[in-house]
Amino acid sequence: MNARREPIGVFGAGYVGLVTAVGFAELGSEVWCVDIDEAKIEKLRRGEVPIFEPGLAELLERHRDRLHFSTSPRETIENARLLFVAVGTPPTYAGDADLGAVLSVVAEMPVSADYALVMKSTVPCGTGRAILRMLEEQGRSGIAYVSCPEFLKEGSAIADFANPDRVVVGEDGAGWAADAVCALYEPLGAPLVRTDVASAEMIKLAANAFLATKISFINEIANVCEETGANVLEVARGVGLDDRIGPKFLSAGIGYGGSCFTKDVSALKLLAANSGYHFQLLGAVIEVNELQKRRVIAKLGRHLGELAGKRIGLLGLAFKPNTDDMRGASSLVLASRLVAEGAHVRAYDPVATEQALVVMPSLDCATSVQEAVAGADAVVLVTEWPEFLALDWSELARTMHGTVVIDGRNALDADAVRAAGLRYEGIGLG
């Protein structure tokens, strides 16, 4: 045991919880991680990783002696005073964040000022205050409350933990606890943003909403480029060199996916609405994204005419490369719309097939690119996995029935596709 590092407890062994657990273990902390899912905890105890995240398995293995997994919070509470909450806050049917799992964990918290609840889960602004009020009403007040939102990206979560752009620590008088959380992150050398709880909660929502806005903005620019002959890659390059705008998150495509942007943009819009403010911009961000996912259907229609009976090969299913996460994936909308039009869809993803079949059990999944593409009238690149960027298009073209390739991420080598005798179309390329 590393005596100099504060031990921590982590409630929730999902993406955020596991990355937080192994990240702090790597920095030298003993970590007690709790999850209600017995099968998941059993796997973790055996050293198996329940999710696909590059680098996670290696860190779990390296720090097996420092990482303790359990379904009961007792051991966690006995060994750590900083109790990180990293459970899911999925959208409710109304589009708000469902705080059910968060509240179940809060119910397990010790009634003592010697402990701190450190909120990692993304929660609506005002949640920290509401939790403290609730505990007070129940006669269970005492625990310190710190908001410490997570900014990791799936697929690069381990690197994001180790190199954060900033660490946000919000407190409303939680003194020692906020200092202890800051001390935990101190070795990473990132700028610390110390603020109040409500502002910390809002920083997280505002950051995700702004990034989603950037994507919907460049997607609309791409759509106008298609009408005017401009090339969105050139436009994004020229615009992104402006220091005030920056080059990141200006890649046009077939819409953003994942659980976070979809959920958080909607949650922020509803949070505003519930407090009497109509957040017009976010309504447009959401609508543009939904339409963007469907634009490929129109592109295919322009090339192929009637889609009924046509064979479409989809390359990629995950919402982005390096993850098996299918939540909010554009592929789901695309595949189900194509099937509804009467097309035959065959998809291939190097990692996400199993997860995709959970959501779309009838999806025809291939076991290789070649199998997905053979006999296809058109092929759509949905997820820019590295292995799709180096395909031999001449070889693939020989097995296709048609000649259309739609590059939904502007990631393929257009010249190589055209040289194979295929018709290439990207997003917003003029």
Strand 116-119 to strand 82-85: parallel, antiparallel, or no bridges (unpaired)?
parallel
Report which of 107, 206, 77 is spatially closest to residue 149, judged by C-alpha positions. 206
- The residue from 60, 106, 158, 260 that contacts ligand UGA (CB under 6 A) is 260
Report which of 292, 144, 158 is spatially closest to residue 226, judged by C-alpha positions. 292
CA atoms within 13 A on the CB side of 126: 8
33 assigned to active site: no
> Is the Cβ of residue 250 or residue 268 nearer to ligand UGA in the bound state?
250
- The residue from 122, 213, 223, 331 that contacts ligand UGA (CB under 6 A) is 122
Q: Please tell me the distance from the alpha carbon of residue 71 to that of residue 42, in angstroms, as a whole number.
A: 9
Strand 144-147 to strand 167-171: parallel, antiparallel, or no bridges (unpaired)?
antiparallel
324 token code pair: 């098996």
Q: Which stretch, 23-31, 46-54, 149-157, 359-367, contacts ligand UGA (CB under 6 A)? A: 149-157
- Quick one: DSSP state of residue 384? -
- Residue of 125, 225, 260, 365 with catalytic role: 260
> Is the Cβ of residue 180 or residue 215 nearer to ligand UGA in the bound state?
215
> Is the Cβ of residue 249 or residue 279 nearer to ligand UGA in the bound state?
249
CA dihedral of residues 151, 157, 163, 164 (deg, nearest 10): 0
266 binds ligand UGA per the rule CB under 6 A: no
Q: Please list every residue from 200 through 229 that binds ligand UGA, using CB under 6 A.
A: 208, 211, 215
CB of 226 to ligand UGA, least distance (A): 16
The letter for the amino acid at 168 is: V
292 binds ligand UGA per the rule CB under 6 A: no
Q: Which stretch, 33-41, 189-197, 251-259, 293-301, contacts ligand UGA (CB under 6 A)? A: 251-259
- The residue from 30, 150, 171, 425 that contacts ligand UGA (CB under 6 A) is 150
Q: Which CA distances in Å does 233 have to 226, 251, 297, 300, 387?
A: 12, 8, 22, 22, 22
User: Count of residues binding ligand UGA (CB under 6 A)?
Assistant: 21
> Is the Cβ of residue 80 or residue 332 nearer to ligand UGA in the bound state?
332
Computed on alpha carbons and rounded to an integer, the radius of gyration of the chain in Å comes to 23
Cβ–Cβ under 8 Å, residues 198 and 128: yes
Q: Please tell me the distance from the alpha carbon of residue 368 to that of residue 349, in angstroms, as a whole number.
A: 8
261 binds ligand UGA per the rule CB under 6 A: yes
Binding residues (CB under 6 A) for ligand UGA: these are 122, 150-154, 208, 211, 215, 249-251, 253, 256-258, 260-261, 264, 319-320
Where in the sequence numbering do the catalytic residues fall?
260
